[in-house]
Structure 1
């Protein structure tokens, strides 16, 4: 039973140093999906406008129509009437994330789901503290599905009272993080967390309380970081008066990328907390997660990628790399409108959706009946059984056969001499995995980026992308005596190992699976790019694949694990 298995979903989640443990004191690595736009709709995922980062950074604070749940609600009121809107949301919440969604997550091999909530749907925005019992009932139903199908649930305060991010994702009235500026919103956030703790203190299926999503994301609000730390301390203290069982998750500023602000044990009473970071794309290698691993070691707490995403091969590479360092992962997002955001579960927008777009961008409003027809169609389309499923991402995320893996995505740990071995003591074009002393080159059939000062000055189109996306164009050159290892998981039936490589003269290579040779490759004098079947990998929960060159030089591009 591997560390990602949902058979390990049992009992309250606890931290033990840098590791997460279940109720049986077994290590578990969280692997799952975020239920984006379920309770906290975001326009860029539901047929609305994209996130306007530039406006938020420049100080443009006004919320745009249909860019968040709050303005989506206003659009529905205007198009369909307030009575329709009031009845719309309970249907949206239950249709967007139902039992079939949770069941599918379990069947695909996941063990957790991140539940992003908007505070205004649980705590009415009015004087006093009145809770929306239907929202709590809806959440109870979802937690029941999670218990039934063995999926841990992380409660994520995605939209705190007043907003905490300074962007549309926090469902605020504008792009100002009022939660840190208004005493009332501060207190309402604390009250709501106390209520969650009061209601769910005995529900072990709740893996953790994530106090805030992406707080203080925009740099112009960095002066509020001391307030963020003060909030964490106060919120944890008040939760612990009610609930000493549940783990607590804290995220840093700048879209949960920063972790340098954490400098002590924020849960001194229970020491049951961990840090969430977010990562979308970039170079999937040890140096990319260095700051997170270093902070984990410094504070002796677990790390968790609470949100992230990229290409299928990036997902496969990064999630496995993270797991090697005992870091769980959660991808964003499980479900979205087709064409809006890459998700494994997408739904079609109504054929007349353009009428909605026209209206919220200043056009003519359709009649009430027509508008209701459009929104009723949305409510039907978002049900799991009406969605279009893309199974391919699950194969990559879970490192299953019928997926591919770049040759440069070899195992990082336990390290040189065991996971890999090379004797190249120089740099490479993209500074990729330099510490490994492996020869990593730009694909021979691609034009390498020009990193010269002249190219930067004159804007040559081949200058390397500083975000590290160019790693897809890298190959691994192995010479005699050098080797690399890879991990393939969930090999339920034997699968074929196929190699894509560039020939560089005569050479020989052998492939092992768990220490047993499964195939060899002999290259004569041909050149160019080739694809060859190497051998069969036996059925296994997780197989270690070793590729070693015994003579000459071979440039490896990609491993293909194919079911036949």
Structure 2
């Protein structure tokens, strides 16, 4: 028997998210990244989703292309997934969405009904298990940030330079708000994932517009507003908007390969985690508004990595320390990530599934080449190629300008990798990825897509038990 729907939408009250009775609610859950917004490291393709899909269409033809991706979307999240997540004590699922499910760039004034049909199924599936959902717009036309996950195909955030793109996304959110108005299982709307506005003022203007437009048609639902520069910078935020929660992303570099020292729980490491968190939430604490950590979580080693059990134990301990920080402040959180191909996921496609058997040579090659930014740890095969390029840039660009390009945190090497590897190299490699699907029958394509069914996935028990223990604490 499905649980009864909450009698009212969640809302903001002081520093809390509260239910219809005014009782504080702490949302604890995960994101279904890789599903309604695909990402390269999650399912194994290179570069940007739209480029991968174009290559797949070229190889498969329209009928097989539609069949494969329809089946992928069907199998990736089913009632079994919702039941599993509820069994862990989680209560909220963040749904990352690619805007292309709703908008066609060649016909931008028409919002596609198929987008609502797709998201409705997930919202309803979660509701049947008593799970709230947060609708997260993960990509924007032109790119709201410089990352592959904005699916822009480029390395610039052009969304901020074109008012017609900004207007289009406000209009889309108005239609989404009209559609979900009164749906009390929807915890709220995350209007923009990880914005990166170089000027630090365009984001504030757009948030002001979209908040007003959404709340004019749907005053009941909470908005979850990410900070600038990938949800880590609130220095440009000047005002608190009504019925809004403010969102950080709190990744720890100690949980990633090739980015520094492993986490062993020293007082200095614990202090570094606390300090990074406090810097991000300073705005919220000063203004007395709720905090939502929309993304966090380590990358895990697999059985092909040296000392993988020791590495994963260190990263579980890191995760536990982060959760203890959030528990102290009683904030809501959504871990990244639910399902993938054995990288960060709470569950992952099994190594003996048709998809993983087929794509293993390509996934290994992509890892060898270091094409994905997320968790990249360069081998000796790569370093001797890119290090001279980086050094050349540093020698030829005056020191005061070498790290001037936004985001400055990436430094010059990060921007070089973004253009050469994550954009150009990866775009061309999309055709090689798609070639693995050539001449596959409908039956074979169905089996490949079914590799992502929960019953064909491996559960990462160490991670899931940590989440279960935290979710069970009141």
The two structures share one fold, judged by TM-score above 0.5: yes
Structure 2 residue runs of 5 or longer lacking an equivalent are 255-268, 299-314, 366-427
> Structure 1 residue 152: deviation in Å?
1.0
Corresponding residue number in structure 1 for 2:203: 228
Shift in alpha-carbon separation, 1:313–1:366, aligned structure 2, 3 A: closer
Distance 1:322 1:201 in 2: 30
Give the secondary structure class of the aligned counterpart of 1:159.
coil
Corresponding residue number in structure 1 for 2:290: 302
Which digits, 9 at most, give the CA deviation of each residue in 1:122-155, with x for residues without a partner? 1222234222222311211111122211111011
> Structure 1 residue 366: deviation in Å?
5.4
> Structure 1 residue 382: deviation in Å?
0.7
Distance 1:313 1:360 in 2: 36
Which digits, 9 at most, give the CA deviation of each residue in 1:410-458, with x for residues without a partner? xxxxxxxxxxxxxxxxxxxxxxxxxxxxxxxxxxxxxxxxxxxxxxxxx
Shift in alpha-carbon separation, 1:78–1:236, aligned structure 2, 3 A: same
Of residues 274, 277, 298 in structure 1, which corresponds to 2:248?
Answer: 277
Shift in alpha-carbon separation, 1:326–1:280, aligned structure 2, 3 A: same
| TM score, norm. by length of structure 1 | 0.62
Corresponding residue number in structure 2 for 1:106: 86
CA contact (8 A) 2:28 2:332 kept: yes
Give the secondary structure class of the aligned counterpart of 2:137.
strand
Distance 1:342 1:158 in 2: 18
CA contact (8 A) 1:279 1:305 kept: yes
Give the secondary structure class of the aligned counterpart of 2:118.
helix
Does residue 86 of structure 1 match 2:57? Answer: no
Distance 2:291 2:7 in 1: 20
> Structure 1 residue 30: deviation in Å?
1.1
Which digits, 9 at most, give the CA deviation of each residue in 1:387-415, with x for residues without a partner? 11122212222437xxxxxxxxxxxxxxx
CA contact (8 A) 2:123 2:133 kept: yes
Determine which structure has more spread, i.e. the larger CA radius of gyration.
Answer: 1
Q: How many pairs align?
A: 371
Of residues 35, 41, 45 in structure 1, which corresponds to 2:42?
Answer: 45
Structure 1 residue runs of 5 or longer lacking an equivalent are 1-5, 49-65, 401-488, 491-540, 543-564
> Structure 1 residue 97: deviation in Å?
1.5
Corresponding residue number in structure 1 for 2:302: none
CA contact (8 A) 2:248 2:281 kept: no
Distance 2:94 2:436 in 1: 36
Of residues 165, 170, 176 in structure 1, which corresponds to 2:150?
Answer: 170
Does residue 369 of structure 1 match 2:344? Answer: no
Shift in alpha-carbon separation, 1:128–1:122, aligned structure 2, 3 A: closer
Does residue 250 of structure 1 match 2:239? Answer: no
Normalized per residue, which structure has more helix?
Answer: 2
Normalized per residue, which structure has more strand?
Answer: 1
Which digits, 9 at most, give the CA deviation of each residue in 1:29-50, with x for residues without a partner? 11110111111111011112xx
Does residue 342 of structure 1 match 2:344? Answer: yes
Report matched runs for 1:434-473 at 5 Å. Answer: none
CA contact (8 A) 2:88 2:467 kept: no
Corresponding residue number in structure 1 for 2:102: 122
CA contact (8 A) 2:194 2:226 kept: yes
CA contact (8 A) 1:259 1:291 kept: no
